[in-house]
Structure 1
Amino acid sequence: MPLSTLCLHCGMCCDGTLFTHVPLQPPEAEVLRERGLTLATREDGGAVLPQRCAALDGRCCTAYAERPEACRRYRCQLLNALADGEVSLEEAKGVVDAAHARVEAVARAFPTSRVGDATAMRRAREAALASSTEVFSSEAREVLTQAEAFLDRHFRGRFRRSG
């Protein structure tokens, strides 16, 4: 129960904050297309589920029973720490709140109008890469760098097979 509570409090693995897409096997792609989700095609012809996931409603997955294997397997570092008893649910929720605050700070530092319609973190990454045409303050770059380091430390990294 605490694990699902944490996931419903977070949602960053599905909202585009951590990842740009989820790789799909052909049968998974077909199921998601039948649900009406928009998929993208890789150069090799395979399908991916772009993030922000179209099945995400707030922080809840509306395709949970049919979610792709990559989604089933993913467990962020914070979820693993909670499962292993290294942090309490309240401590973990505090880390999630801090992460959301950092993402909001990135959104303020890299305004939406500068680079297309995507998640705050993606917009900021794209803007930072396009720095030859747009100049951002060292403070804005530092906000992005600190947010990425925080996300790396608490959310990305360890993948564990569940079950």
Structure 2
Amino acid sequence: MSLSTLCQRCGLCCDGNLFSSLPLRRSEVEPMRRLSLPVVERTDGTPGIEQRCAALDGRCCTVYAERPEACRRYRCHLLTAAAEGEVSVEEALGVVDEAHARIRAVEAALPLERLGSPQAVLQRARHEDQPENGGPLPRETQELWNQAESHLDRHFRGRHRRM
């Protein structure tokens, strides 16, 4: 099985659960707009694409050949570990499946999605946990959310979360 299988089964770097936005170089703004991808100004003032990426169809990129440089360069911690032989592709796929299962558990515990809420489950949990949006979330939901974030930190972002 090839490493591309891992990315095609995952999609977490594009669905908004790992990151809330993707940076663009100024030279990429117009090409992304031509691809009908909405370009926004990020909190640091640079152009970007909000995640969940509009080019994501299921877990596959519909503009893969024309994707931005940040997408081309990005390799999650899990992909790097698989490429270096630290884990097999089969083991990595198990980690991906577990990540998606944890995200589904958070989604099932969240209140029904409200108009204007982020599409990505973990972004929505963060949004719903705020007092101005009806939070805090129930303790059980917060625990599921923390466990999902910790799993993503450890296996995809390459950092360890303290809870």
**TM-score bracket, shorter-length normalisation:** 0.7 to 0.9
Shift of the alpha carbon at 1:108? 1.2
C-alpha RMSD of the superposition: 2.0
- Paired-residue identity, %: 56
Whether 2:38 is the aligned partner of 1:38: answer yes
Single out whichever of 129-138 and 97-106 deviates more from structure 2: 129-138
Alignment-derived partner of residue 124 in structure 2: 123
Whether 2:142 is the aligned partner of 1:141: answer yes
Cα gap change, 1:58 to 1:113, in 2 (>3 Å):
closer
In structure 2, list runs of 5 or more residues that go unmatched. none
The 2-side partners of 1:153 and 1:117 are apart by: 23
The 2-side partners of 1:2 and 1:59 are apart by: 17
Using the size of structure 2 for normalisation, the TM-score is 0.88
Shift of the alpha carbon at 1:51? 0.5
Cα gap change, 1:46 to 1:142, in 2 (>3 Å):
same
Alignment-derived partner of residue 26 in structure 1: 26
The 2-side partners of 1:45 and 1:132 are apart by: 25
In structure 1, list runs of 5 or more residues that go unmatched. 159-163
Cα gap change, 1:128 to 1:27, in 2 (>3 Å):
same
Aligned residues: 158
The 1-side partners of 2:20 and 2:111 are apart by: 19
AA at the equivalent of 1:152: D
AA at the equivalent of 2:38: T
Alignment-derived partner of residue 47 in structure 1: 47
- Secondary structure at the aligned position of 2:157 is classed as coil
